[in-house]
Amino acid sequence: MSRSDGAVDAGHPQHASGYDSELQRLDVVFRQACDVQTRDRVLDVGCGTGQSTRAAALAAHDGSALGVDSSAPAVERARGLADAAGLGNIAFERGDAQVHPFPGETFDLAISRFGTMFFHDAGAAFTNLARALRPAGRLVMLVWQAGDRNEWDVAIHRALAEGAQPIAPSRAFSLADPARTTEILEAAGFVDISFTDVEEPVYYGPDVVAAEAWVRSFTSTGELLERLDPDGAEQGLARLRETLSAHLRDDGVWFGSRAWIVSARRGEGVLRSWWTSGTAGAHP
């Protein structure tokens, strides 16, 4: 699922618009890194409401783009937006990339904009994606770096976590460690793995009121507030509003962020290793 903290309902029109607006600066970098070619067959993993899928379909005008997401509302919304855009080379499916029966050796490029960090079994998921790619097919994904390198995460926790019980680390940062992520991808059959540092701000809204509403839609925000008594929650929200005000510019509320562009290629022997692994049992 394509979400900033694993929480935002990407199928809700307001949330979809907010999420795409939040990532507007990062999205430019991501599209350049994807470098979709005119005849590419593109798989967009955790596509949400399909902004990156539609961009891929436009670039691959002699190819195609398939978006996959586990959220039924997101997929339904994505189909409507693609229809409205008149795109004939695009499709969307609801599915879990860990076990979805993608056709083998079909796609030239698999992309994901903040969707791969939420796999419950990353090894199974990336093995399945490698199987879906053609030999030497590319994987390009955008993932968050560690939380302490992301101003938005640090600021929210400082405002709301005072006096609260700690919460489990967000899965949004599950691929933040290059060494661990490299190990996962290599085990899945990927080679030529590289990490490119991306430092671009994220947009939380035109004013403090909109920014607070956006932050309060995050699951992590709700979890932090639930750990506070009513007075503590109100104090935390007051601190949050002060933090948002401090980040208000003429063009809205912005926070610093750090992400990785992770690029890789499918290596040899992927199908053989897949059929001899436990992952094979999850497919028809």
Computed from CA positions of residues 176, 182, 184, 189, in that sequence, does the dihedral angle turn out positive or negative? Answer: positive
Q: For residue 104, give the 3-state DSSP assignment.
A: coil
Question: How far apart, in whole angstroms, are the C-alpha atoms of residue 252 and residue 114?
Answer: 23
Question: How far apart, in whole angstroms, are the C-alpha atoms of residue 6 and residue 216?
Answer: 13
Question: How far apart, in whole angstroms, are the C-alpha atoms of residue 59 and residue 137?
Answer: 17
Tokens representing 163? 């006096």
Burial 118-128 (b: 16+ CB within 10 A, else e): bbeebbbbbbb
Question: How far apart, in whole angstroms, are the C-alpha atoms of residue 247 and residue 207?
Answer: 10
Query: For helices 151-160 and 219-226, what crossing angle results, to 10°?
Result: 20
**Residues forming a β-bridge with 97:** none
Would you state the pLDDT for residue 224?
A: 86
Would you state the pLDDT for residue 227?
A: 86
Q: Does residue 276 carry a pLDDT above 70?
A: no
Which residue in this structure is represented by tokens 């005008």? 61
**Average pLDDT over the chain, rounded to whole?**
88
Q: How confident is the model at residue 264 (pLDDT cuts 50, 70, 90)?
A: very high
**Where is pLDDT greater, at 6 or 66?**
66
The pLDDT > 90 percentage for the chain reads 77
In this predicted model, what pLDDT tens digit does every residue of 209-253 receive, in sequence order?
Answer: 999 999 999 888 888 888 888 999 999 999 999 999 999 999 999
CA dihedral angle for residue 236, residue 240, residue 242, residue 243, rounded to 10 degrees: 130
Neighbours of 101 (CB within 10 A): 11
Would you state the pLDDT for residue 2?
A: 38
In this predicted model, what pLDDT tens digit does every residue of 173-182 receive, in sequence order?
Answer: 999 999 999 9
* Contact (CB, 8 A) for 101 and 68: no
Q: Does residue 138 carry a pLDDT above 80?
A: yes
Question: How far apart, in whole angstroms, are the C-alpha atoms of residue 112 and residue 133?
Answer: 14
Tell me which CATH code domain 13-147+170-204+259-282 carries: 3.40.50.150
The pLDDT > 70 percentage for the chain reads 86
Average pLDDT over residues 263-275: 71
Would you state the pLDDT for residue 19?
A: 84
Would you state the pLDDT for residue 16?
A: 52
Average pLDDT over residues 103-113: 97
Average pLDDT over residues 142-163: 90
Could you report how far apart the first and last alpha carbons of the chain are, in Å?
A: 23
Burial 36-72 (b: 16+ CB within 10 A, else e): beeebbbbbbbbbbbbbbbbbbebbeebbbbbbbbbe
Q: How confident is the model at residue 15 (pLDDT cuts 50, 70, 90)?
A: low
Would you list the DSSP string of 83-99? HHTT-SSEEEEE--TTT
Burial 135-164 (b: 16+ CB within 10 A, else e): eebbbbbbbbbebebbbbbebbbebbbeeb
Provide the phi-psi class of 182: left if phi over 0, else alpha when psi is between -120 and 50, else beta: alpha
Return phi, psi of residue 202, to 5°.
-110, 150
Would you state the pLDDT for residue 30?
A: 98
Q: How confident is the model at residue 3 (pLDDT cuts 50, 70, 90)?
A: very low
Delimit the domains of the chain by residue range: 13-147+170-204+259-282
43-47, 156-160, 271-275 — which is least confidently predicted?
271-275
Query: For helices 72-84 and 51-59, what crossing angle results, to 10°?
Result: 40
Average pLDDT over residues 4-22: 57
Q: How confident is the model at residue 259 (pLDDT cuts 50, 70, 90)?
A: very high
